[in-house]
């Protein structure tokens, strides 16, 4: 395997969120249930908002694709009331579908929760000092998550450690492509104006790391409490804290 120390120290640190900067429990036990609980009222109140209409458009296309593909999602006729969409949204949530429409809708619901003070972002204690350290050293920090860009921003704005977004250069969601596709990491590097070899990607999912490595980036596996075991974890350098990433940045 390629060791990150074999190349120049990365100038960009690209971070996954769930299981990397943020406990999985926060996502699955707080954010997901919050969206599920509030989706009906949110759609009833905000169905006319442009962002919600875009989420509904994306979900309508996905619903049609599910039906055409032989799936059996809850019946839904696009163009009806927003509340009629709720069973399909719940069906997607039950499957943890990385659906662009679902992620956009969840992000809008979470944004309302953050603004109301009902939600507050969580990160591991080692994350803020590491990001500040990288920023001070002239390294750029970017986020890449299946959650919508707006949801990412709200999480990092509202942590108990303060607003971290001024230290984060860019936020990327699956609009740039699937996290298990090498082309996504090439697009991210292009958007940042750097070569893929200048990027370090940290994630808790080895399929994502494999795709990033294929694109030419350095990769490190995040081993946080509660993360799902990865059968091929031994193929990657790993860290349990961002404090352990010095082996990458000390590369010559």
Q: Where are the domains of the chain?
A: 4-22+122-249, 27-115
Angle of helix 50-68 relative to helix 32-46, nearest 10 degrees, comes to 110
C-alpha 104/C-alpha 127 separation (Å) is 25
Q: Which helix (H) or strand (E) holds 87?
A: helix 86-94
What is the structure's pLDDT at 251? 54
Q: Which CATH architecture does the domain made up of 4-22+122-249 adopt? A: 3-Layer(aba) Sandwich (3.40)
Angle of helix 32-46 relative to helix 100-115, nearest 10 degrees, comes to 90
Average confidence (pLDDT) over 102-116: 94
Chain centroid to CA 169: 15
Q: What is the pTM of this model?
A: 0.88
Q: Which CATH class is domain 27-115?
A: mainly alpha
C-alpha 182/C-alpha 56 separation (Å) is 29
Burial (Cβ within 10 Å: 0-12, 13-18, ≥19) of residue 108: buried
* pLDDT tens per residue, range 69-108: 999 999 988 776 677 899 999 999 999 998 999 999 999 9
**Is the pLDDT reported for residue 180 higher than 70?**
yes
**Is the pLDDT reported for residue 3 higher than 70?**
no
- Which tokens sit at 219? 């990769």
What is the structure's pLDDT at 80? 64
Answer yes or no: same fold for 4-22+122-249 and 27-115. Answer: no
Chain centroid to CA 110: 14
> Phi and psi for 230 in degrees, rounded to 5?
-110, 125
Average confidence (pLDDT) over 200-214: 98
How high is the mean pLDDT of the chain? 92
**Other CB atoms within 10 A of residue 173 CB:** 21
**Is the pLDDT reported for residue 173 higher than 60?**
yes
**Is the pLDDT reported for residue 4 higher than 50?**
no
C-alpha 148/C-alpha 145 separation (Å) is 7
- Which tokens sit at 113? 């929760």
C-alpha 223/C-alpha 79 separation (Å) is 45
Asked if 164 contacts 152 with a C-beta cutoff of 8 angstroms, the reply is: no
**Is the pLDDT reported for residue 7 higher than 60?**
no
Asked if 161 contacts 191 with a C-beta cutoff of 8 angstroms, the reply is: no
Cβ partners under 8 Å of residue 66, min gap 6: 73
Q: Tell me the sheet residues that pair with 200.
A: 13, 218
């Amino acid at each position: 395997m390629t060791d990150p120390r074999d190349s120049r120290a990365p100038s960009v640190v690209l971070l996954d969120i769930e299981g990397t900067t943020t406990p999985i429990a926060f996502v699955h036990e707080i954010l997901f249930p919050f969206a599920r609980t509030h989706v009906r009222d949110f759609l009833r109140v905000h169905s006319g908002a442009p962002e919600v209409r875009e989420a509904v458009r994306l979900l309508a296309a996905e619903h049609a694709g599910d039906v055409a593909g032989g799936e059996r999602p809850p019946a839904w006729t696009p163009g009806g009331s927003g509340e009629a969409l709720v069973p399909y949204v719940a069906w997607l949530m039950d499957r943890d579908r990385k659906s662009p429409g679902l992620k956009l809708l969840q992000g809008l619901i979470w944004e309302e929760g953050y603004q109301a003070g009902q939600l507050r972002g969580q990160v591991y204690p080692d994350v803020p000092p590491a990001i500040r350290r990288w920023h001070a050293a002239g390294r750029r920090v970017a986020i890449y998550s299946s959650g919508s860009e707006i949801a990412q921003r709200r999480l990092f704005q509202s942590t108990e450690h303060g607003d971290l977004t001024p230290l984060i250069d860019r936020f990327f969601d699956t609009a740039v492509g699937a996290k298990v596709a090498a082309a996504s990491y090439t697009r991210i590097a292009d958007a940042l104006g750097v070569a893929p070899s200048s990027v370090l990607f940290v994630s808790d999912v080895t399929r994502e790391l494999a795709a990033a490595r294929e694109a030419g980036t350095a990769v490190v596996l995040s081993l946080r409490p509660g993360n799902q075991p990865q059968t091929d974890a031994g193929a990657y350098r790993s860290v349990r804290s961002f404090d352990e990433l010095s082996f990458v940045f000390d590369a010559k």
